Structure 1
Amino acid sequence: MHALTLIEKDPLLKPFEQQLVNRIEWYQNTKDYIEKHFGSLDRFASAHEFFGFQYDEKKQGWWFRDWLPNASYVSLIGDFNGWDRGANPLRRGNYGAWEIFLSDDEYKDKLVPGSKVKMHVHGENGQLDRIPAYIRQVVQKEDHGFDGVFAGISQYQWKNEFSAKDIKTPLIYEAHVGMATEEERVGTYREFAENILPRIKKLGYNCVQLMAIQEHPYYGSFGYQVSNYFAPSSRFGSPDDLRYLIDTAHGMGIAVILDVVHSHAVKNRDEGLAELDGTEQYFDGWQPDWDSRTFDYKKIEVKRFLASNLKYWMKEFKFDGFRFDGVTSMLYQHFGHVEFTDYSKYFTDTNNDAIIYLQLANELIHNLNPDVISICEDMSGMPGAVRPVEEGGLGFDYRLAMGLPDFWFTLLETKKDEDWHMGDLYWNLINRRKDEKNIAYAESHDQALVGDKTLAFWLMDSAMYTEMSIFNESLVVDRGIALHKMIRFITAVLGGEGYMNFMGNEFGHPEWIDFPRAENDWSYKYARRQWSLADTDHLKYQFLEKFDQEMISLIKEFNVLNTSEDYKLYEDNERKILAFRKADLIFVFNFGQESFTDFSFDTLEKADYNIILSSDDKDVGGFDRIDKEMVYSSKNHDLTLYLPSRTALVLKKKA
């Protein structure tokens, strides 16, 4: 049994062998059922090619279908028929599907792209006008809520061929299209393509992870309360505008990852799936933390809806991967409300139907595109999440290293610099399941939200508003800039097999994120990014951005994150120095306040070295205390160099 592979790699899983075996068997039984009744997993995940609006070339007209098994009457309404609830009733078909055919002869000039549409549904909850589950575009109404939109057939002509096969190390720029403009308003897909993608390209990131793409009624939810799963958010433009963004990214060699939310859905009835046919056919309960509905993963139709959603985004918009949000909430009946202190917690009170769905999802998307990038947001650390399904794993390619930002922010909040323990720091950065790849990050959008602090704000606080001019001397800012560079660099180098940054954090964006809401008088002041701070030559934000660019360049050039072996060469907790070897480079970090003119350590070999990166360079906000032209020789294995305070150095052997 392949599950033994997990146990061979981690003998502590031996007591849970039966659970792993069951996981494989349950998955295989579900897959056998799918193949028997649908022909293949690919055909199973093609519900979006049947439901919603589908053009029939042979009959010359549009079919409209939706899955409403408990409805007693359904009609299609919209501006094409004057919103007449009796004009276009649907016919009940097999397995709860309702359908109607609208011929071109009668409706070609009435049902046109942009036409507003809804369904009128009679169910146990009354007679209501609802947005179809598979609608591909919605628009916000002036008062509140959404109208469905007939999108027609996209006329977008793709220009750039792209494959993520060459991205062996995902360097991810996490971004939100709406808040990517400096102006106090909602940004657009096209503005992001024209203004932000070039910045991402210049910095060297090879992936952009887009948040808040699936339509959501409340802007302030950051896109995590989805209502319309097949509709790109209309706040940012049309579906073709999103295609343009992705096409543009592909032309720059940048993969595009969708932050997909299949862990829960918005509770709203008017905009979303709740009580769509009069009952909760899609849901089985509530997520108490998010006040939202949880999907009923037991139902094959729900698995089909969600799997089809993944295929839709890959085929219709050419997304190169997915970051699955809220996986911990999916994995456990308790939504993750326990301390994962021992292995038994990983196999207790699990939501096995959700696990089967995640396994199906990962097999599906990798069958569709072997180079797809699949990322798991799981704070529990479920063993096998990033292992193949046949081993009893979930099939993800990477998991987010969610403990790293917690480590840094706890350290900054509770300990002074002089109390940092280098061995503890090193251990926290490398402490992960070695056969499961991680995406490291020091901070994401979570740390930038109101109520929390970014790294820059923890380090410099209000000095970011008053002392960031290059003409001002500030010990607070000097310390903050130095540690900001070092924390992000050491996290990237040691923390995983990929790296992620949230937009603006690379230059220490000074303000938190606060979306428009009643409590702030619906202001956009903090739902934006002040790019001009990094572009202004007399402000120090530019130094952080420049170092981020150099850091990413070094990681790529020397394939640092694909080198799994790292070896600690030196640890000094009194002087706050840490040195290690990785990717045939030597990394030296002095987190302390003291500089050392003759710092020596054992490199374990005789060689000559050059310094190829220094966080103390003047153009990245340092003091230019390092001579990078010097050659350093490790005679008798000992290497001696000048090591300034709060500085990171990278040394490379001379050819």
Structure 2
Amino acid sequence: MDSPTLSEFDLHLFSEGRHWHIYNVLGAHVCKKQGVEGVRFAVWAPHARAVSVVGEFNHWNAGTHSMGLHEGMGVWSCFVPELSTGTLYKFAITTDTGRQLLKTDPYGQAFEMRPATAAVVTERGHFGWGDGDWIARRSGRNWLDKPISIYEVHAGSWRRHGSGRWLTYRELADQLVPYVEEMGFTHIELLPITEHPLDESWGYQATGYYAPTSRFGTPDDLRYLVDQCHRHNIGVILDWVPAHFPTDEHALARFDGSALYEHEDPRQGRHQDWGTLIYNYGRHEVRNFLIGSALFWLDAFHIDGLRVDAVASMLYLNYSRKEGEWLPNLQGGHENLEAIDFLRELNRVCQSRFPGTLVCAEESTSWPRVTHPPEIGGLGFNLKWNMGWMHDTLDYLQQDPVYRQYHHDKLTFGLTYAFSENFLLPLSHDEVVHGKGSLINKMSGDEWQQRASLRLLLTYLYGYPGAKLLFMGGEFGQRREWSELRELDWPLLTDPAHRGLKKLVQDLNGLYRREVSLHGECFRPVGFEWIDCHDSPQSVISLLRTAKGETSVMVLNFTPVPRHHYRIGLPQAGTWREIFNSDSEYYGGSNVGNPLPLPADEQPWMNRNWSLELTLPPLGAIMLRPAP
């Protein structure tokens, strides 16, 4: 069959790894040739002996619609007349050894419902977006001084129908968006909704990097969900996985018979922990595939940011490997220099082409300058997950309160590095699976103490400097460990105690968004001061948050003993008022607190000229601010 010519410039940019609209070139695209409507197919398979496109239109017979090779570029293409959107297809690839492979399109923009694996011809450009104002505001926003409060969601198990059927993207728009708006979160983060064959992978083993999973509907259905989020002033972050990919034979693994997307040597190309394959970041076309995928989601679906999964595994050649199981870089070190270059380019391109979007690193080590610009040796991410804060805080709260005084450093150590990066504080899905128990069940003590401790933890989250993230179910004290196989335990909300927790998170989001002191300087040391971090015998900490002339004080009591006549130093004179109390009866607490007003005493305390005596609730936190 006569092959339509792809632009030589397109192919040149692709070979250099810098075609930022490659998703409009490779894959399947409805078009016309000499006035005849049909579909142009194009695929990168440089080591193939022959490639053809197969589908129902030719009874899946290899060779019927052969593709022509663009010499020197490794790209094969053909035009098949009279095909249209909805056509199922795959690529039949003959390897250089004569073996026949049947592969799905790496650039496919829609796929069949699993376990079927064919790609589906789809067409962009017809969705009626109504989020122009949101996109305009986003592009001019300085996110560093804005509240970022993220609700992390697994789309298949947030809520289900009574029959167990998933909600569709459109049903999520109708139910999830109002819920998130009511709760006051600024963003939704979706666990990977890129197409994936295995439900139990939660989307982290993707086979369709340019396609939303068909489990919940069509690409336009997802656009509807994002559009509805934006119309209600909610951003959308996508969990995105460029660190590894699964070994499924129908997908990227040994795509043209060679280690095309991965490394040939398993010491470089295979993740031992996950049984997956590692991308070859040194190959230009592979880098283009991945960066093109990131840009595709920001472009075609108006996504507001990416959470890049497993960054640590990308940075270290010896990640989770023993001596002899990895290969050093050209300088003899364990840093993956090609992955570092890839991440820097990813961040530069995403942030320059889509200003105002966020690229967040799930990076769990002490790698320096993750959120610093590449120009000064950084990786260029906007945010980094603060895994150290999360582990220290949860470890502390699992201690019996009697022994917490001996672990006080777990509350204070994090501030020694809190401003070395732009940190996000994650209470994520990873902490409520695989036998770790739910968030509330991590808290020590009886049922009352667990609920009070969870209220205390959540208040601490919102008072501590950094962006916020909470996995679904944590906001109302889900008791059972999370499972992707069932919806959250929504009937718990018939219990006033669980409704109180939900109300607490709702009010904390509102407070965080209203109080400039809590969000205006989250990423600079000027916005934080300890009032006292040394009261380990009573397990009490007190801190000061400031921004743009606004001030707030938070005092947290990590024991079940009320503290009466507890004096703290204050930064200024005048009358103060309690604006938040995690022990309020509205949240299921014992209502121990402080009456209004609270005039400061001219009594020096804690190296400050004014001070105040307070009553601290048991396992509770209070927040104060100067009275107007």
Using structure 1 for the length normalisation, give the TM-score: 0.84
Counterpart-to-counterpart distance in 2, 1:436 and 1:394: 11
Instruction: Identify if the C-alpha distance between structure 1 residues 273 and 138 changes in structure 2 by more than 3 Å, giving closer, same or farther.
Output: same
- Structure 2 residue aligned with 1:189, among 162, 165, 169? 169
Counterpart-to-counterpart distance in 1, 2:322 and 2:613: 49
- Verify: 1:452 aligned to 2:436, yes or no: yes
One-letter code aligned to 2:87: S
SS in 2 for 1:174: strand
One-letter code aligned to 2:57: F
Say whether the 8 Å CA contact 2:556–2:621 is kept in structure 1: yes
1:66-119 CA-to-partner distances (Å, cap 9, x unmatched) read: 00101111111111222232321111113110000123xxx1xxx232221111
- Verify: 1:318 aligned to 2:302, yes or no: yes
Task: Tell me the CA shift for residue 654 of structure 1.
Answer: 1.6
- Verify: 1:642 aligned to 2:615, yes or no: yes
- Structure 2 residue aligned with 1:378, among 355, 360, 363? 363
Counterpart-to-counterpart distance in 1, 2:276 and 2:579: 50
Please, which moves more after superposition, 352-361 or 330-339?
Answer: 330-339
Task: Give the equivalent residue in structure 1 for 2:23.
Answer: 48
How do residues 305-344 of structure 1 correspond to structure 2 at under 5 angstroms? Answer: 305-335=289-319
Counterpart-to-counterpart distance in 2, 1:505 and 1:582: 25
- Structure 2 residue aligned with 1:100, among 67, 78, 84? 78
Say whether the 8 Å CA contact 1:504–1:529 is kept in structure 2: yes
Counterpart-to-counterpart distance in 2, 1:212 and 1:146: 18
Dislocated runs of 4+, deviation >6 Å? 39-42
Counterpart-to-counterpart distance in 2, 1:210 and 1:435: 27
Say whether the 8 Å CA contact 1:154–1:240 is kept in structure 2: no
One-letter code aligned to 1:63: R
Task: Give the equivalent residue in structure 1 for 2:482.
Answer: 513
- Structure 1 residue aligned with 2:57, among 71, 74, 80? 80
Taking only the aligned residue pairs, the percentage that are identical comes to: 26
One-letter code aligned to 2:273: D
Instruction: Identify if the C-alpha distance between structure 1 residues 628 and 269 changes in structure 2 by more than 3 Å, giving closer, same or farther.
Output: farther
Instruction: Identify if the C-alpha distance between structure 1 residues 112 and 357 changes in structure 2 by more than 3 Å, giving closer, same or farther.
Output: same
- Verify: 1:543 aligned to 2:500, yes or no: yes
One-letter code aligned to 1:651: L
Task: Give the equivalent residue in structure 2 for 1:463.
Answer: none
Say whether the 8 Å CA contact 1:579–1:589 is kept in structure 2: yes
Counterpart-to-counterpart distance in 2, 1:154 and 1:266: 31
- Verify: 1:252 aligned to 2:232, yes or no: yes
- Verify: 1:242 aligned to 2:222, yes or no: yes
Say whether the 8 Å CA contact 1:125–1:275 is kept in structure 2: no
Counterpart-to-counterpart distance in 2, 1:551 and 1:336: 38
Task: Tell me the CA shift for residue 56 of structure 1.
Answer: 3.5
SS in 2 for 1:140: coil
Counterpart-to-counterpart distance in 2, 1:145 and 1:628: 64
One-letter code aligned to 1:112: S
Counterpart-to-counterpart distance in 2, 1:410 and 1:125: 57
Counterpart-to-counterpart distance in 1, 2:16 and 2:285: 13
Counterpart-to-counterpart distance in 1, 2:10 and 2:29: 24
One-letter code aligned to 1:211: L
1:491-513 CA-to-partner distances (Å, cap 9, x unmatched) read: 3322x420100111111111112
SS in 2 for 1:230: strand
Instruction: Identify if the C-alpha distance between structure 1 residues 381 and 125 changes in structure 2 by more than 3 Å, giving closer, same or farther.
Output: farther
Say whether the 8 Å CA contact 2:15–2:284 is kept in structure 1: no
- Verify: 1:531 aligned to 2:490, yes or no: yes
Counterpart-to-counterpart distance in 2, 1:70 and 1:173: 44
SS in 1 for 2:544: strand
Task: Tell me the CA shift for residue 58 of structure 1.
Answer: 6.4
Task: Tell me the CA shift for residue 212 of structure 1.
Answer: 2.2
- Structure 2 residue aligned with 1:38, among 9, 13, 18? 13
Say whether the 8 Å CA contact 1:632–1:640 is kept in structure 2: no
SS in 1 for 2:443: helix
Counterpart-to-counterpart distance in 2, 1:171 and 1:604: 28
Task: Give the equivalent residue in structure 2 for 1:121.
Answer: 93
Say whether the 8 Å CA contact 1:182–1:531 is kept in structure 2: no
- Structure 1 residue aligned with 2:48, among 38, 54, 71? 71
How do residues 233-632 of structure 1 correspond to structure 2 at under 5 angstroms? Answer: 233-270=213-250, 272-284=251-263, 285-335=269-319, 348-413=333-398, 415-421=399-405, 423-432=408-417, 434-441=419-426, 443-459=427-443, 476-494=446-464, 496-515=465-484, 524=485, 527-534=486-493, 536=494, 538-559=495-516, 560-563=518-521, 564=524, 565-570=527-532, 571-583=534-546, 584-632=551-599
User: Which consecutive unaligned segments of at least 5 residues does structure 2 have?
Assistant: 1-8, 264-268, 324-328, 604-609
One-letter code aligned to 1:480: Q
One-letter code aligned to 1:602: G
Counterpart-to-counterpart distance in 2, 1:134 and 1:125: 24
Task: Tell me the CA shift for residue 188 of structure 1.
Answer: 2.0
Instruction: Identify if the C-alpha distance between structure 1 residues 125 and 362 changes in structure 2 by more than 3 Å, giving closer, same or farther.
Output: farther
Counterpart-to-counterpart distance in 2, 1:78 and 1:258: 31
One-letter code aligned to 1:541: H
Task: Tell me the CA shift for residue 642 of structure 1.
Answer: 2.0
Say whether the 8 Å CA contact 2:49–2:98 is kept in structure 1: no
Counterpart-to-counterpart distance in 1, 2:183 and 2:393: 24
Task: Tell me the CA shift for residue 451 of structure 1.
Answer: 1.4
Q: Quote the RMSD (CA, aligned, Å).
A: 2.5
- Structure 1 residue aligned with 2:110, among 137, 149, 164? 137
Counterpart-to-counterpart distance in 2, 1:386 and 1:35: 32
Task: Tell me the CA shift for residue 628 of structure 1.
Answer: 4.5
Task: Tell me the CA shift for residue 37 of structure 1.
Answer: 5.6
Using structure 2 for the length normalisation, give the TM-score: 0.87
Counterpart-to-counterpart distance in 2, 1:558 and 1:426: 23
Say whether the 8 Å CA contact 1:482–1:646 is kept in structure 2: yes
Counterpart-to-counterpart distance in 2, 1:624 and 1:486: 14
How do residues 143-158 of structure 1 correspond to structure 2 at under 5 angstroms? Answer: 144-158=115-129
Say whether the 8 Å CA contact 1:175–1:211 is kept in structure 2: yes
SS in 1 for 2:243: coil
Task: Give the equivalent residue in structure 2 for 1:3.
Answer: none
Task: Tell me the CA shift for residue 485 of structure 1.
Answer: 1.1
1:127-158 CA-to-partner distances (Å, cap 9, x unmatched) read: 122111111111135xx341211113453211
One-letter code aligned to 1:48: Y
One-letter code aligned to 2:448: D
Counterpart-to-counterpart distance in 1, 2:202 and 2:98: 30
Counterpart-to-counterpart distance in 2, 1:404 and 1:555: 19
User: Which consecutive unaligned segments of at least 5 residues does structure 1 have?
Assistant: 1-33, 340-344, 461-474, 516-523
SS in 2 for 1:541: helix
Task: Tell me the CA shift for residue 630 of structure 1.
Answer: 3.1
Counterpart-to-counterpart distance in 1, 2:125 and 2:91: 23
